[in-house]
A and B are shown apart, each in its own frame.
Chain A
């Protein structure tokens, strides 16, 4: 099994968002592997252990993303690839990211490509399906189970709480939903081994990509924080009276019931 996992470096979910000069402040923030990508990495490792083969984790970004790739290697991935666009591109969007990944993957004969179903920063969930389309392979999003038996693949897909039992075949791209597995923490020996595992760095030139090919289609006009909610009202008095008051407020003041 030739397995690839798409990984994105994202803000830690604990982080508050601070905006200055119209940009999200990254200084001092903690970064993690996008949590949904951790499910994808875990699943890739389990499938390799069961079926043999190799797991390669791939990310697009700057030097800083090496840390997340090393974490993936420490979890058990075999190789990592950083496609470094820092010097070439000021901005990326889902179109350009999918295009760059497809140029990297087009001759890799991947049997299985895994990704998180969404990144917790941008939150669009587009790159997986876009990439599958560019590579001409099938895809299934938001999966909670993956069984591979030869060329036959059985997948359970989460569709808004219901489950769809799907039969398909390799090659395939899947995106991970919560519940797919329980991602492992890197072990100490894993962390030591990860330091010696191959981590390749590529630039757009290495992939014969012209900057014009990856011009973004979407333009950000403004980034802003939601208005601060005014502190609400904590009711007081006898509990039964509080409940009566609450229902009354929801009905007459908030008018939502």
Chain B
């Protein structure tokens, strides 16, 4: 086996995203040389961090038109790297950017694409990819029949390699002429997601109808901030206008797999469970002892979330002080 893997490295406000380190680890499983590709206006500064996380080489593509992501701009840039490197496999993060760009690249290569991979079984050419279907109600094992192996990986599921600053590797650049951009990004409005992104969060504190109002999300936000996590919601809470639809977790909405999922005032409809039941540890807080959510919870507290959450905040603070 001698397979070169191109990994798309993603930055967010100048910093590399964790999923890019996870993608390098995924690349190492399916090939033997991992080349990380960094695309942006001025991104070469973070190249060495990719090498510290296991990339063998880094290729940068820098251009003023690559300051913000567009499928045209990033598509041209990435195709230029493919032309130069002739990889046998590609790994992207299953992020907003990765989801948008990967099908375009797959179309240009006339290749298959396995989206939203959560686990890789086997190595090299024998690798088989596991991905959720029906939002996690079932799983499938799939492989590419022939041609380029192309996958996107779900954040938080494949462990990155340990960072080792003593690793070294070549950093080179490819120059491209970015033309014919059909999309102009006028503005990016940052909303709820200051701080931690829901799909990448290690801790999610989610509220349902039991939160009762927009203000009711206040204590949940405080708890999430304390634990370095993100706030999510059930469809019920979104439909009732307590929060933005971008927070919705479930079969419609986001599918999340954090280390810790705290469900507060969520009854646990099957559609919601599909979006969170593969979290590592689930805590349910609900007044109704019969609530469905207790069936998937590792730990449950029957009680009013407005009593329990403030107590939790106090206890976690105490734990932090003692640690």
Q: Real complex partners, A and B? A: yes
Contact of B143 among A120, A142, A167, A221 (CB under 8 A): A221
Q: Would you call B312 and A13 a contact (CB within 8 A)?
A: no
Chain B contacts for A129, CB-based, 8 A: 71, 100, 103-104, 107
Roughly how many angstroms separate A239 CA and B146 CA in the complex, as a whole number? 58
Chain A contacts for B183, CB-based, 8 A: 138, 140, 166-168
Residue among A133, A233, A256 with max Cβ neighbours from chain B (10 Å): A256
Identify the stretch in B45-53, B129-137, B170-178 within 8 Å (CB) of chain A at 4 or more residues.
B129-137
Q: Which residues of A97-117 have CB atoms within 8 Å of chain B's CB atoms? A: 98
B41 within 8 A of A: no
Chain A contacts for B182, CB-based, 8 A: 138, 168-169
B80 within 8 A of A: no
Q: Would you call B245 and A232 a contact (CB within 8 A)?
A: no
Identify the stretch in A40-48, A74-82, A184-192, A240-248 within 8 Å (CB) of chain B at 4 or more residues.
A240-248
Mark each residue of chain A from 203 to 246: 1 if its CB lies under 8 Å from any CB of chain B, else 0.
00000000000001111111111100101111100011011101
B214 within 8 A of A: no
Chain B contacts for A134, CB-based, 8 A: 107
Q: How many residues does chain B have at the interface if contact means C-beta atoms less than 8 Å apart?
A: 94
Q: Which residues of B153-195 have CB atoms within 8 Å of chain A's CB atoms? A: 182-193
> Known: A223-B139, A246-B312. Contact between A165 and B187, CB under 8 A?
yes
A16 within 8 A of B: yes
Roughly how many angstroms separate A168 CA and B180 CA in the complex, as a whole number? 12
Roughly how many angstroms separate A138 CA and B181 CA in the complex, as a whole number? 9
B242 within 8 A of A: no
Contact of B245 among A16, A93, A127, A178 (CB under 8 A): A178
A88 within 8 A of B: no
Main secondary structure, interface of A, reads mixed
Chain B contacts for A257, CB-based, 8 A: 203, 227, 260, 316, 319
A51 within 8 A of B: no
A215 to chain B, nearest CB (A): 8
Chain A contacts for B303, CB-based, 8 A: 239, 242
Residues of A at the B interface (CB closer than 8 Å) are: 11, 13-14, 16-17, 19, 24, 35-36, 93-95, 98, 120-130, 132-134, 138-142, 144, 158-169, 177-179, 216-226, 229, 231-235, 239-240, 242-244, 246-247, 249-251, 254, 256-257
* Pairs across A and B, CB under 8 Å, 27 listed: A36-B252, A95-B112, A95-B113, A123-B116, A129-B100, A129-B107, A130-B106, A132-B104, A141-B99, A160-B96, A160-B246, A161-B197, A162-B189, A162-B191, A163-B191, A168-B183, A179-B245, A221-B141, A229-B298, A231-B295, A232-B284, A232-B298, A234-B301, A239-B301, A239-B307, A256-B280, A257-B260
14 more A-B residue pairs beyond the given contacts A221-B128, A232-B297, A232-B300, with a C-beta to C-beta distance below 8 A: A14-B270, A125-B99, A126-B113, A126-B115, A129-B71, A159-B97, A217-B111, A221-B140, A222-B141, A229-B298, A234-B302, A243-B311, A246-B283, A257-B203
